[in-house]
Chain A
Amino acid sequence: MSISEFTPAATPVGMAAMPDPPAGARLDKKRFNWSSIPLLLPALGLLALLFVGPVIYSFYLGFTNDQLLGPTSKHFNFTGSANLHRLVDDPVFHQSLYLTAFFVIGSAVVGATLVGLILAVAMQNALGVTRVVVGGLVIVCFVLPPIVVALAWYAASTAHGTYTGLFGMPNADFLQSAPLLVVSAANAWNLTGLAMILFAAALRNIPTEILESAEMENASAAQRFFKITLPLLRPTLITTILLMTLLALANFTVVYVMTAGGPGTSTMILPVYSYLQAFQYNNLAYGALIGDAMVILATILSFVYVRLSRERS
């Protein structure tokens, strides 16, 4: 029985008013479901206890004069906006922002995401052998701990390394002459495996029938890719770009071990600068403030992402 049967036109004259709508929950409108709470509790609980609390404390620290070691390590004071003034006037911080932007866009957005996509797509059409070997190789690169990545890349990009040999300049030192480029490449090399996995999983989700029917209608491979696959991959693309960005920001160990922010300050990306200030110069508070700046940066990016994904739906 559908609602339409009770329209006035169908109601015989003189009949009583419309009967009540069917009892029970409406299935067409989303309502708050109490089962949400126990499902959310583990994640939100863990995050609140072990993540949010420390982050808030860290934000507070950024406005104090706390040191890791020194007169104001155990007994520190709130210093208001003093650190903030220092941050705004700090030329190294400004440089760090530019360097971070380049690093993130270069290694995360262009590097890891693009290469991951290319690899995932290529793997669909490749021989089993090539797929397993290259796929496994890329995964190994993702798997290696940051210190090993740094060492391997150091060996490869300095004189008599594999890259310098590959490009025919065995005595050149890529790391010293183009440090930001090399550490960005190292980071991309490290993260591509994850992007590849994400895209591979998403590509599996694309129903083969759509692609096959397009093929039957004589769509070329390029058309199939750009008109069908890519739009369907869009959510994964956005997620992956965002994830790679956040991971690049978080992966400071590789850069730190390779160059320690040098030569000079040419690879002093924000995470390295924050670590340097907090743990080398013992300025815990200032390092925390720089870290807070990173969090705000990440928030802005997340906001952009949420906007983008809302447009989609």
Chain B
Amino acid sequence: MSRKYRGGRRLVALTAIASAMTLIAACTASPSSTTSNGKTVLKVAYGSQFVFLTPQLAIKWWGTVAHEFEKAHPNVTVQFVPIPGGYPDIVNKMSLLFRTPSTAPDVAELPAGQMGEWVSSGFLLPVNKYLSTASYWNQIPKSVQNETLINGKYYGVNHGENTNALWYNMPMFRKAGLPVPWHPKTWADVLAAAATIHAKLPSVTPLWLAGGSAGGTIAIQYNGGNLLAGSTNSTIYDAKTGKWVVDSPGLRETLQFYKTLAQKHLSASVSELLNPNAVDGLPGLLAKDNTAIAVGANFYAESWVKSTCGPCWLQAPKIMGVTKLPTINGQGAGYASVLGGWELSIGAQSAHPQLAWDFIQTAQQQTNMIDASNWGGWVPPSNVANSAAAFVNYAPPYQKFFAALLPASQEEPNTSPFTVWGTGFNNATGAIIQNPNISIDAAVNVMKNYVTTQLGADKVETIG
């Protein structure tokens, strides 16, 4: 053969070696099956960075539960599938995990927000038959239990909940001559207090209410969603017609509230409100002692204590008071709060549903449930747990207050189109924050047009 082919042969040899190396390297991935060393493997998937207040607390809690579980079940190894990233990343990765049978987890920590979708995908196992062995189940208020109730079956048990109320700065209130403790009965009362603060303490942000699309649809339950829940008509999804509400008295009242805040300069600057981290940054913001009132969630209390330090604000109980967010006219229960939280569910394809349930039982055991809530920024769903000293005294006096909000708190719809509806809602509130002088009709149209385009005209409706 002539010389020119010798180089070619060397090339072929090199390529073959390289390809072989690739294949060998690629095959060094760890196997995942349902048995390992003769022990059964139980796959547990959870959000590792976003769910608990800090990733370290997540590792600590899950590690404890796994340890207790393995001690009670020596033939089982727990294999964790920690999912990093933010809320949408957790949902996406969980979806991918469930889609592929070989990676589907046995136990999954799922957000309440899309429960309907997980169920309609066929990913989850109904747990009705196991509930009789759950001593805590009947201690959970109906409103919370309903988070996993779809078509008559329960698809998980509640792990921890968030409720919302009004936080207010007591020294500022006293300085402005407002009553402490504060008990507003209507939205007008709230706005009046904000106006007083604005007049007497001009350098302070009177009332913090975030909006806009940067925070995502997950932010709605911590800001505007609470107002909508307290309006005269809080329907988001009309179960009777199967349509999504894009125009209603409730929506208009909520948007009007945003507009009043923006026009009278009763809220923070545009930049601050439309910030993607407006929700998560609130514990830090309030700790700066520059905001008088804020619509906010229970987890700030657990963020400020020494064991979490997000940030550390040990004087918080002397400065920040809490009061229920009233309904617009004081109607109904008198207060409104959106309910959100996390559930523990069993995979529909799980080869070991009973073991999965046993793991969940370990996780829901009272000490673990209380620890989860303290470290996750939640209220324990069980009435017994959330009145226990270990919870109540973790961040007094707030824990008891937020736990009492559970029964009347409302859940947001838990199907996929909610993210579309939510985007429309965020676009409307964002438009008002940016441009306080637009009419309510214009803001409603922003929402209506967007949602109608995305979902189709036959899936939306106007009420009232």
Contact between chain A and chain B defined by CB under 8 Å: yes
- Docked-complex contact B121 and A74, CB < 8 angstroms: yes
Q: Is B133 an interface residue (CB 8 A)?
A: no
Docked complex Cα distance between A42 and B21 (Å):
12
- Docked-complex contact B434 and A69, CB < 8 angstroms: no
- Nearest chain A CB to B264 CB, angstrom units: 18
- Docked-complex contact B11 and A39, CB < 8 angstroms: yes
Q: Is B270 an interface residue (CB 8 A)?
A: yes
- Nearest chain A CB to B179 CB, angstrom units: 33
Docked complex Cα distance between A258 and B274 (Å):
11
Q: Is A232 an interface residue (CB 8 A)?
A: no
Digit string of A67-94 for contact with B (CB within 8 Å is 1, else 0)? 1111101100000000000000011100
Docked complex Cα distance between A175 and B446 (Å):
20
- Nearest chain B CB to A75 CB, angstrom units: 8
Q: A73-B121, A279-B88 are in contact. Are A159 and B269 (CB under 8 A)?
A: yes
- Docked-complex contact A281 and B420, CB < 8 angstroms: yes
- Docked-complex contact B213 and A68, CB < 8 angstroms: no
Docked complex Cα distance between A73 and B416 (Å):
12
Docked complex Cα distance between A264 and B450 (Å):
9
- Docked-complex contact A69 and B416, CB < 8 angstroms: yes
Chain B residue nearest to A279 (CB atoms) is B92
Q: Is A4 an interface residue (CB 8 A)?
A: no
- Docked-complex contact B99 and A70, CB < 8 angstroms: no
Main SS class of interface, A? loop
Q: A70-B121, A73-B95, A176-B274 are in contact. Are A259 and B11 (CB under 8 A)?
A: no
Q: Is B8 an interface residue (CB 8 A)?
A: yes
Contact of B121 among A38, A69, A257, A280 (CB under 8 A): A69
- Docked-complex contact A90 and B453, CB < 8 angstroms: yes
* A-contacting residues, B181-240, CB 8 Å: 212-214, 216-217
* B-contacting residues, A85-122, CB 8 Å: 90-92
* A279 neighbours in B (Cβ, 8 Å): 88, 92
- Docked-complex contact A176 and B213, CB < 8 angstroms: no
* A158 neighbours in B (Cβ, 8 Å): 271, 275
Q: Is A222 an interface residue (CB 8 A)?
A: no
- Docked-complex contact A69 and B12, CB < 8 angstroms: no
* B-contacting residues, A148-202, CB 8 Å: 154, 158-159, 171, 173, 175-176
Number of A-B contacts (CB under 8 A): 113
- Docked-complex contact A260 and B216, CB < 8 angstroms: yes
Main SS class of interface, B? helix
* A280 neighbours in B (Cβ, 8 Å): 88, 216-217, 419, 423
- Docked-complex contact B121 and A71, CB < 8 angstroms: yes
Q: Is A135 an interface residue (CB 8 A)?
A: no
* A-contacting residues, B405-464, CB 8 Å: 415-417, 419-420, 423, 426-427, 430-431, 434, 446, 450, 453-454
Q: Number of B interface residues, CB 8 Å?
A: 50
Q: Is A129 an interface residue (CB 8 A)?
A: no
- Docked-complex contact B271 and A69, CB < 8 angstroms: no
* B450 neighbours in A (Cβ, 8 Å): 92, 265
Docked complex Cα distance between A280 and B88 (Å):
7
Contact of A282 among B5, B217, B416, B453 (CB under 8 A): B416
- Nearest chain B CB to A265 CB, angstrom units: 8
Docked complex Cα distance between A41 and B20 (Å):
13
Q: Is A35 an interface residue (CB 8 A)?
A: yes
* B7 neighbours in A (Cβ, 8 Å): 35
Q: Is B120 an interface residue (CB 8 A)?
A: yes
Q: Is B398 an interface residue (CB 8 A)?
A: no
- Docked-complex contact A262 and B117, CB < 8 angstroms: no
- Nearest chain B CB to A156 CB, angstrom units: 12
- Docked-complex contact B274 and A261, CB < 8 angstroms: no
Docked complex Cα distance between A45 and B269 (Å):
55
- Docked-complex contact B270 and A176, CB < 8 angstroms: yes
Q: Is A145 an interface residue (CB 8 A)?
A: no
Q: Is B288 an interface residue (CB 8 A)?
A: no
Binding site for B on A (CB under 8 A): 34-35, 38-39, 41-42, 45, 67-71, 73-74, 90-92, 154, 158-159, 171, 173, 175-176, 257-265, 279-282
Binding site for A on B (CB under 8 A): 4-5, 7-8, 11-12, 14-15, 18-19, 88, 91-92, 95-96, 99, 114, 117-118, 120-123, 212-214, 216-217, 269-272, 274-276, 415-417, 419-420, 423, 426-427, 430-431, 434, 446, 450, 453-454
Give 8 new A-B contacts, CB below 8 A, not counting A262-B213, A264-B431.
A35-B5, A38-B12, A159-B269, A159-B271, A259-B213, A263-B214, A280-B88, A282-B117
Identify 11 residue pairs between A and B in the complex whose beta-carbon atoms are under 8 Å apart, listed by A's number. A34-B8, A38-B14, A41-B19, A42-B15, A68-B96, A69-B114, A73-B95, A158-B271, A262-B214, A281-B419, A281-B454
